[in-house]
Amino acid sequence: MTESGSIVQPGRPLTMTFEDTLRSAIAAQEEGDLEEAGRQFGDILKQAPEHPDALHYYGMFLHRCGKPEEAIASILRSLEISPHQPSAFNNLGSLYRIQGHEDKADAAFWNAVRFDSGHVEAWRNISEIRRLRNDPLGAIKALRAALAFDPDNFSSRHRLGTLLAGVGEFDEAAEIFIAIVRDGLHTRGNVITYADILAHHGKPEKALELVLEWQKQDPSDPLAAHHVAAHRGLESSGASEAYVREIFDGFAETFDDVLGGLDYSAPAQVADAVLEIQAGRRIGAAVDLGCGTGLLGARLKPVTDSLAGVDLSPKMLEESRKKGVYDALHEEDITSFLQAEPDARYDLITAADVMIYVGDSRAVTLEASRTLKPGGLYAVSYELLEDGAGFRLLSSGRYGHSRDYIEALREEAGLEQVTSSRIALRKSFGDTIEGLLVVLRKPE
């Protein structure tokens, strides 16, 4: 509709039938009924082929139909007839951006705020173009303009906080993040990211304040409790089952894609180490501890006679089941699972990027040794703890393990070292998180 919410065709009053038809066409388009929307837009343009609102929204309809050039032409014609249309300029800018015409998009967004200084979405779009042009200060300025007219908008506040952090304004960013949580606008993933940003950039006290506010909002949330412990530096033997289950249930469907963007390769590296040691020999019975969506299992399946997967997250297991990687899947804590297994059950046990949630890995290592057949392999990765001994809950919410601790476990479990190598686990804030991949063998 027009900016005022009504339609008036110059020189001829419109009937309610025309106005209702335009509303109906827009609604059909928004609901995805493009056939009905097209029929109604056809009727509208027969009655008023030069009406600016009809041309504007017909342009958006054409965009939905995959006709970008015609869509832009229709909106441009609308603006030729009636230039005072901030929303039309904003939509034109969005179409230009989709087509890769960044300069034209920028000009259109500026026209939108020229006609309506309070057009929040246009200010947000200007900010995004400034960000993409490596102009964070310009992006921040545009977001501040958006927030002046819509101060409670979560998306604008979130973007402003992350942009401020990007230019080193961590104190102001922290206040924005904390206010978002205090106002109940957060998601768990956002809070964890905010806290990581602050802790990584020398603001541990602000990170702690943030997660304490999160816990105050929901005292029963196991994720909040875990991250409060992490940012307080409390001693902890391992993440709770509730924490592990909920954090992985929360992003099971996007797990593979998300980790792909972090250069995550622990499952592949553990599998490749095993395959290199096996040198073409088949593996009998194998179990993948903390199997997740089956990233590791998919690489080992062709060379195993039977392959089981164990994980606490039912949704991760569901994603793994879709791939058909494992012969059996078990929703269980990995230590409890092994404790119920008979002696000398497996030829191979793997655990890729699992110990970052276990912490005290003694029990699972001893059980792995007990359930391995003589000559069987235990392949496991750890996040390296460089400063100190033993293991420790890090501010990231993951557990780090020292080389001495890992070696002491090997000796106590009576396992022989086949290989031990330093590996890159993932990226975090541009830094490489270092890990240790060890493959151990049970003596024959």
Question: For residue 388, which of 399, 403, 367, 407 has the smallest C-alpha distance?
Answer: 403
Structure tokens of 412? 């106590």
E-strand ranges in 83-167 read none
Buried b (16+ CB within 10 A) or exposed e, 153-164: beebbbbbbbbb
When comparing pLDDT for 247 and 253, which is higher? Answer: 247
Q: Is residue 212 situated within a structural domain? A: yes
Do 226 and 302 lie in one domain? The reply is: no
Q: Is residue 229 situated within a structural domain? A: yes
Q: Are 86 and 108 in contact (CB under 8 A)?
A: no
Element (H, E) at 145: helix 136-149
Do 315 and 372 lie in one domain? The reply is: yes
Q: What are phi and psi of 207, to 5 degrees?
A: -60, -45
pLDDT in tens, 330-360: 999 999 999 999 999 999 999 999 999 999 9
Q: Is the pLDDT of residue 10 over 50?
A: no
Do 170 and 208 lie in one domain? The reply is: yes
User: What mean pLDDT comes out for the span 82-107?
Assistant: 95
Compute CA distances 361 → 55, 282, 389, whole Å: 66, 28, 14
Confidence of residue 247 (pLDDT cuts 50, 70, 90): confident
User: What mean pLDDT comes out for the span 262-290?
Assistant: 91
End-to-end Cα spacing for the chain: 79
Phi-psi label, residue 7: left if phi above 0, alpha if psi -120 to 50, beta otherwise: beta
Kindly report the CATH number assigned to the domain that includes residue 339. Answer: 3.40.50.150
User: What mean pLDDT comes out for the span 52-65?
Assistant: 89
Do 299 and 392 lie in one domain? The reply is: yes
Give the neighbor-by-neighbor strand order of the sheet with 431-441. Answer: 328-331, 304-311, 283-289, 346-351, 372-383, 431-441, 416-428
Do 176 and 299 lie in one domain? The reply is: no
Do 273 and 201 lie in one domain? The reply is: no
Q: Is residue 112 situated within a structural domain? A: no
Do 424 and 282 lie in one domain? The reply is: yes
Is the dihedral angle over the CA atoms 138, 142, 148, 150 positive or is it negative? negative
Give the pLDDT of residue 24: 85
User: What mean pLDDT comes out for the span 388-412?
Assistant: 93
Q: Is residue 282 situated within a structural domain? A: yes
Give the pLDDT of residue 2: 36
Kindly report the CATH number assigned to the domain that includes residue 189. Answer: 1.25.40
Confidence of residue 263 (pLDDT cuts 50, 70, 90): low
Residue 154 CA to residue 302 CA, distance in Å, equals 48
Q: Is residue 24 situated within a structural domain? A: no
Give the pLDDT of residue 187: 84
Hey, is 65 helix, strand or coil?
Answer: coil
Mean pLDDT estimate for the chain: 89
pLDDT in tens, 424-434: 888 777 778 89
Do 296 and 408 lie in one domain? The reply is: yes
Confidence of residue 250 (pLDDT cuts 50, 70, 90): low
Cβ burial of 333 (10 Å; 0-12, 13-18, 19+) is buried
Give the pLDDT of residue 172: 96
Q: Is residue 194 situated within a structural domain? A: yes
Give the pLDDT of residue 259: 47
Question: For residue 192, which of 224, 215, 217 has the smallest C-alpha distance?
Answer: 224
pLDDT in tens, 209-237: 999 999 998 899 999 999 999 999 888 88
User: What mean pLDDT comes out for the span 64-82?
Assistant: 94
Please say which residue of 234, 267, 291 terminates a domain: 234
Beta-carbon contacts of residue 280 (< 8 Å; ≥ 6 apart): none
Do 285 and 330 lie in one domain? The reply is: yes
Q: Is the pLDDT of residue 132 over 50?
A: yes
User: What mean pLDDT comes out for the span 113-126?
Assistant: 97
Do 175 and 316 lie in one domain? The reply is: no
Structure tokens of 399? 């557990």
Q: Is the pLDDT of residue 258 over 60?
A: no
Q: Is the pLDDT of residue 106 over 80?
A: yes
Do 346 and 289 lie in one domain? The reply is: yes
For the chain, what is the domain count?
2
User: What mean pLDDT comes out for the span 300-311?
Assistant: 96
Q: Is residue 281 situated within a structural domain? A: yes
Question: For residue 229, which of 8, 13, 23, 395 has the smallest C-alpha distance?
Answer: 395
Give the pLDDT of residue 38: 83
Local structure of residue 342 (DSSP, 8 states): P
Range of the domain at 417: 255-441
Q: Is residue 397 situated within a structural domain? A: yes
Transcribe 13-24 into DSSP letters: PPPHHHHHHHHH
Do 263 and 392 lie in one domain? The reply is: yes
